[in-house]
Chain A
Amino acid sequence: MRFTVVTVVSALAWMAAGCGKDEVRVYQAPQDAAPVAAADARGVTPQDASVSPASGSASSRSATAEASASERPAVPWTVPAGWEEKPASGMRVASYGVKRPDGRSADISVVAMGGGAGGELENVNRWRDQIGLEPATEADLAGLRSIIPAGNRQVVVYELDGKKAVLDGKYAARTLAAILPAGEMTVFFKITGENALVAEQKPQFLAWLKSVDTGGGTGGSAEPAPEASSAAPAAPVSGTASAAPAGSTASSGSVAGGGTDGLPNWQVPSGWKAAGPKPMRLASFEIPDAAGNGDVSISKLNGDGGGLLANVNRWRGQVGLAPLETSALAANSTALTTAGGDSGTWVELKGADKTILGAIVARDGVSWFFKMTAPSSVAVQNREAFEKFVRSVRF
């Protein structure tokens, strides 16, 4: 009898030991197929695919709405007349549509993906499949592609003319797609829809491609400017294929990719934490504080960015202050010179509970905005550090 008990207990103990969960395993396994673009962002389970874009896009949309209100929407291209903006979703950075009263429509998308995004042939064949065309071979590609200049680089464009009535069973489709390698990402610009409508939209599409600001003009890093994401939470053209972050919260955005090309040099005060990418921003920092975190943003706009007064008044509105008249601006701001010798305008806007400290520096036809928003007590403590930070800027 005792033997039985001992046996049972030891059997239980052995089973409880977990059956080698911690052990190193050695085995042979078939090699994985070459990863295809979408699979790069590992950890995106189908559930994520079906669930998170819905919620994610909702939140990013509201974030954008907020950002648009305060920062003015900016995309690094000119949207052709007649294109209607649609909310971006999933992997889309931007989305537009064209509709005709007779029901014909075309869909325009911008998608940024890591690395070669699965290869040219695979993408072309995917697009061909969508409009009912037979797959092409590698040898066919050369005959199908045309190369057009856009901004400061060459863009590969495919025009695919579908013959089958794949749309609502009535219309044949046509696709125009452009592939723009940008650093370690590939950006796809694509219009697809009713055949004749897309053909009609071709000039607009090409003009759109040419309008794409590939940023900096240095040729080497020809990404659209980091503030590009009109709707996606992350900047579209940063991140690397090998660091493809999971889910839609691709991090890294702002200043990556372009290296220091796009941004001036500056000294980050100790205690500041780099914050994740945000729409319209080139860089963000967080100043942790128990009384409420401070938020530092750096953004830029072409030209005067709407004007000094308009921007100062926009900020004043954000802290609940009444707008200023032109004549009062000088009395309410001071001049500031950065380490690089650029001069700017410095304002301190103290609201009921929060304070904005801001500097606007105009340089080479671009307005740079340095802004700290924080609870007033936190702003007072960090005023000196922020001013030092702005003064450290060297373009």
Chain B
Amino acid sequence: MLSKVFQFLSSLRLTVVLLGLGVAVVFFGTLGQTSDGLYVAQERYFRSWFAYWTPHGSAFPVVPLPGGYLLGTMLVINLIVAHFTRFKWTWSKSGIFLTHIGIILLLLGQLATDMLARESIMSFREGDTRNYSESSMDFELAVLRSAGSNTLDQVVAIPAVRLKPGAELRHELLPFAIRVKEAYENARIRLRAPVMDSNRPPAATQGVGARIVIDEQPPTRTMDARNVPAAVIEISGPSSLGTWAISGELKPQTVTVEGTEWRLEYRPVRDYKPFALTLLKTTHETYPGTDIPKNFQSRVRLRNTESHEDREVDIYMNSPLRYGGYTFFQYQMGKEQLADGGRGTSALQVVRNPSWVTPYLGCILVGVGLLVQFLMHLTKFIARRKPRAA
């Protein structure tokens, strides 16, 4: 029985079927991108175990597909099991072995990139200093309190996915519970108009929530817009401290619990760095007479108090800053529309990918493996020809 399972797992037929399915997933994933947008399509078809494709306008899923994770995992298992069952180690096959190790490394490296790589955005105006970058997709409810000094905050950051209606959130560092009353994936905030909204109550009882209403919006799937979540939460310490509206559009609000001031801020997930960048100057050049960008360039000052580094760096297209395990790419640029001569703004894409080296290593192994295999065949072929020629 077990041997049959291994026979199946190691079969070349399985490899071919998996590769064929891979082609199908790429095809339907590309189709799905038109309606879902890049990010959702990636999640649905490639970063999943199972997927299905639904034609536009159909209410039912039509084409069931294996997800990217399933295909990748099966391919790795297939290759590894095949090595233990079908392949026999000989020197003459060392090239094939190397090639296969390279492929396994590619597959695992891609999975590691998928799991470990983090992309975020650092955006600032000329003169601003940032020591954190922000997620472009995910939000968190940050509950902040002064950490005893004037410059540090103690932060308890609750991911937005935990804010589900009905959830009760507690944390040992918080002297109150947070009960989620309402949660919206995408919503806009507007001031409650006293007359116009006479048939709608305010979003919450406390803070700015008492003066606003939350308009739920359909979640956006496009690349150039993002969802701004909102929620209504109840803070309850020894007694209830009322309901509060939180949203990515609102500034921090202060809640006083037993004499301590806490701040609530619904914000993009932050990733703090042990160093800081100051945006000194932005250069935004276009080709004359067009809006086509020619050069986006940010001059930043990099300061690391631990290593006493303090230097200026230019970041521009194709010339990122690599520092501290992060890569900073020039991403977007704009100008504050405040007044003439407004300050330039710049956004850097910050990528941290601990496994960035695996694809290079994998490709080298595959290349070397193929070369070795080819040379061995060649030398054998030449050696066989020689006696006849003589």
B190 CB-CB contact with A under 8 Å: yes
Asked if B159 contacts A251 (CB within 8 A), the reply is: no
A309 at the interface (CB under 8 A from B): no
Give the residue name and chain of the A residue nearest to B248 (CB): A43
Which of B16-24, B330-338, B372-380 forms part of the interface with chain A?
Answer: B330-338
A107 to B125, CA, bound (A): 24
Asked whether, in the complex, the Cβ of A242 is within 8 Å of the Cβ of B152, the reply is: no
Interface string of B157-193 (1 = CB under 8 A from A): 1110110000001010100000000000000111111
| Residues of the B chain whose Cβ atoms lie less than 8 Å from the Cβ of A246 | 228, 248-249
Q: Which of A45, A53, A107, A243 contacts B337 (CB 8 A)?
A: A53
Residue on B nearest A238 in the bound complex, by CB = B191
Contact B190 A243 (CB under 8 A): yes
Identify which of B123, B224, B336, B340 contacts A51 (C-beta below 8 A): B224
Q: Indicate if A322 sits at the interface (CB-CB under 8 A).
A: no
A380 on the B face (CB < 8 A): no
Given contacts A26-B173, A130-B340, contact A49 B335 (CB under 8 A): yes
Kindly identify, within residues 161 to 209 of chain A, every residue whose CB is under 8 Å from any CB belonging to chain B.
190, 192
The minimal Cβ–Cβ distance linking B106 to chain A, given in whole angstroms, is 15
Q: Does A252 lie at the interface of the complex (its beta carbon under 8 Å from any beta carbon of B)?
A: yes
Contact: A283 with B196, CB < 8 Å? yes
Do A240 and B208 form a contact, CB below 8 Å, given A246-B228, A274-B193? yes
Query: Out of A31, A45, A129, A263, which one reaches B123, CB within 8 Å?
Result: A45
B69 touches A (CB below 8 Å): yes
Q: Is B194 part of the contact surface with A, judged by Cβ < 8 Å? A: yes
Check A29–B251 contact: CB distance below 8 A. Answer: no
Please measure, in the bound complex, the distance between the C-alpha atom of A47 and the C-alpha atom of B228, giving whole angstroms.
16
Q: How distant is the Cα of A33 from the Cα of B84 in the complex, in angstroms?
A: 60
Asked if B239 CB lies within 8 Å of chain A CBs, one says no
> Hey, what's the 0/1 contact readout for A239-254 against B, CB within 8 Å counting as 1?
1111111100101101
Chain A 21-50 interface 0/1 with B at a Cβ cutoff of 8 Å (1 = within): 111111111110101011111110111111
Q: Select which of B155, B162, B188, B200 is within 8 A of A22 by beta carbon.
A: B162
CA distance A19 to B121 in the complex (A): 20
Query: Quick check: which of B27-35, B109-117, B311-319 contacts chain A, the rest being far away?
Result: B109-117
Q: List residues of chain B with CB within 8 A of the CB of A254.
A: 193, 196
- Chain A 101-129 near chain B by CB (<8 Å), digits 1 or 0: 00000010101000000000000001101
Least distance between A229 CB and chain B CB atoms (Å)? 15
Assess whether A26 is in contact with B251, with CB atoms less than 8 Å apart. no
Cross-chain pairs A/B with CB under 8 angstroms, 24 sampled: A21-B161, A22-B159, A24-B157, A24-B158, A30-B131, A30-B152, A33-B128, A38-B338, A39-B125, A41-B249, A43-B226, A46-B334, A47-B332, A50-B335, A51-B334, A239-B191, A244-B251, A246-B249, A251-B189, A251-B215, A252-B190, A252-B193, A256-B194, A272-B199
Known: A27-B157, A48-B334; 13 extra A-B contacts, CB below 8 A, are: A22-B162, A28-B152, A40-B251, A43-B249, A90-B337, A91-B337, A91-B338, A127-B339, A242-B251, A243-B190, A243-B212, A276-B190, A283-B193
Instruction: State the B residues within 8 Å of A (CB).
Output: 69, 73, 76-77, 80-81, 84, 111-112, 115-116, 121, 123, 125, 128, 131-132, 138, 140, 146-147, 150-159, 161-162, 169, 171, 173, 188-200, 208, 211-212, 215, 224, 226, 228, 248-251, 253, 267, 270, 272, 332-341, 345-347
3 closest pairs, A vs B, by CB?
A90-B337, A50-B334, A251-B190
What residues of chain A have their CB less than 8 Å away from a CB belonging to chain B?
1, 4-5, 8-9, 12, 15-16, 18-19, 21-31, 33, 35, 37-43, 45-51, 53, 89-92, 107, 109, 111, 126-127, 129-130, 190, 192, 238-246, 249, 251-252, 254-257, 259-260, 263-268, 270, 272, 274, 276, 283-285
